[in-house]
Amino acid sequence: MNVTTLPKPPRVGLVSLGCPKALVDSERIMTKLRADGYDMSPDYAGADVVLVNTCGFLDSAKEESLEAIGEAIAENGRVVVTGCMGKEADVIRNRFPDVLAVTGPQQYEEVVAAVHEAAPPVPSPFIDLVPEAGLKLTPRHYSYLKISEGCNHRCAFCIIPHLRGDLVSRRPDAILREAEKLVAAGTRELLVISQDTSAYGVDIRHQPRLWKGEEVRAHMTDLSRELGKLGGASGSVWVRLHYVYPYPHVNDVIPLMADGLVLPYLDIPFQHASPRVLRAMRRPANDAKVLERIRSWREQVPGLAIRSSFVVGFPGETDEDVAYLLAWLEEARLDRVGAFKFEAVDGAPATSMAEQVPEDTKQERYEAVMALSARISAEKLAAKVGSTVDVLIDRVDEETGGATGRSKADAPEIDGEVHLRDAGGLQPGDIVPARVEDSDEHDLYGVPL
């Protein structure tokens, strides 16, 4: 009898740092490497080469990236670096002369070629198998869907356009094809990400492409509608929009939420409310009428959840600006708020601005924003006690018979959770109605119906 002995595939270890967009990059790279016959290694010891996907957004993230590279060198020794920090190859090479290769963000071909060189693939028809949706690093039931890369804005605190370049939108049919595959492979929630989702398609003049016999424009509204249709009549796929700037055409997406095609959820990075600070930050869609628009959106979609992030301590920010921000937050009553203290980033214009705010003042302002936001969040969640919400199950606890998931108002990793008791028989990826029994500042507690 002839027995084919399969060659042992080379194994790649992965350290993925940074934001969801970097995670999508890691997924793409690993998908390609899997297609080329590589295995993944869960530890340094078993890896033939370790890939470190770095983040270079803030100085603290850069330091974390450098530490991760150092650890990989110490533990394994054969290291390829990619991602945002790859733009600073000199810094990396000076500190770690032994790294095998340094490639920048979105340089998929280069990073894959570097891995090939470090640990040559062993072609085999028996192991060159890629799952339908590619190899994913997120759980199977939710997936990030990157619709564009780069950004046309030049916010004073940000170096992303410098790192990633101007906006480059993907074709709508390519995005929809990827989304359809993800859904076929078990995804129940599509998280649409980009640097500026509202600007999608601007660079390609919203050029339409054929999708299922119909023209679909490279436009946020068309794309959201078509993604929403992927769940069929039951609406069993959640479509969640992240990084939405409140340009006027966002109004057109609200009816899609009212129709159940898109989740009633908007992640809008407002960053501040004071017009003076917003101008200094050079923020896009810096519209004084935002509060009015939020009110109108909520009239159309009463359950609309809005999450946002805010930066305090931007150079020149005064006590009056912070008072303005707090009053604005009190009125806007956003559902989820993340606050950050301004951090000077090497290369960002704000770093060299006069009137830098002292650290202890930043801390006080940060605490004021967080305390107010926590109170508003607790009040809004308490108002849900007694109601029924749909919950997408993320994990189950066999021992307690409980399960944890998220409502339509909760994005994974960044928002709250719903903790269910007596949830035996549920599986990750199930969407179930649940009665809310209790709440705290961030989470809901309930029971499946």
Residues near ligand SF4 (CB under 6 A) are: 151, 153-155, 158, 160-161, 195-196, 284
Amino acid at 149: E
C-beta of residue 385 within 8 angstroms of C-beta of residue 439: yes
Measured CA to CA, the distance from residue 226 to residue 233 in angstroms comes to 13
CA distances from 223 to 197, 246, 253, 410 (A): 11, 17, 10, 22
Amino acid at 37: G
CB of 279 to ligand SF4, least distance (A): 14
Residue number, 32 or 242, with CB nearest to ligand SF4? 242
CB of 167 to ligand SF4, least distance (A): 9
Residue number, 38 or 243, with CB nearest to ligand SF4? 243
Residue number, 166 or 320, with CB nearest to ligand SF4? 166
Measured CA to CA, the distance from residue 37 to residue 122 in angstroms comes to 7
- Angle of CA points 31, 35, 37, to nearest 5°: 120
Measured CA to CA, the distance from residue 404 to residue 391 in angstroms comes to 9
Measured CA to CA, the distance from residue 439 to residue 303 in angstroms comes to 17
Ordered DSSP codes for 385-398? TTSEEEEEEEEEET
In residues, how long is the chain?
449
The SS3 of residue 177 is: helix
- Angle of CA points 365, 370, 371, to nearest 5°: 100
Measured CA to CA, the distance from residue 136 to residue 301 in angstroms comes to 33
Residue number, 154 or 395, with CB nearest to ligand SF4? 154
Residue number, 196 or 417, with CB nearest to ligand SF4? 196
CB of 381 to ligand SF4, least distance (A): 29
Residue number, 14 or 155, with CB nearest to ligand SF4? 155
Rg (alpha carbons) of the chain, rounded to whole number: 23
C-beta of residue 200 within 8 angstroms of C-beta of residue 145: no
Residue number, 160 or 263, with CB nearest to ligand SF4? 160
* Contacts with 321 (C-beta within 8 Å, 6 or more apart), sequence order: 272, 274, 276, 277
Residue number, 242 or 406, with CB nearest to ligand SF4? 242
Q: Which helix (H) or strand (E) holds 176?
A: helix 172-184
Residue number, 55 or 155, with CB nearest to ligand SF4? 155
Measured CA to CA, the distance from residue 297 to residue 22 in angstroms comes to 31
CB of 311 to ligand SF4, least distance (A): 10
Neighbours of 448 (CB within 10 A): 19
Strands (E), 135-252: 142-146, 148-149, 168-169, 189-193, 209-211, 214-216, 238-241
CB of 195 to ligand SF4, least distance (A): 4
Residue number, 196 or 222, with CB nearest to ligand SF4? 196
Residue number, 41 or 198, with CB nearest to ligand SF4? 198
The SS3 of residue 43 is: coil
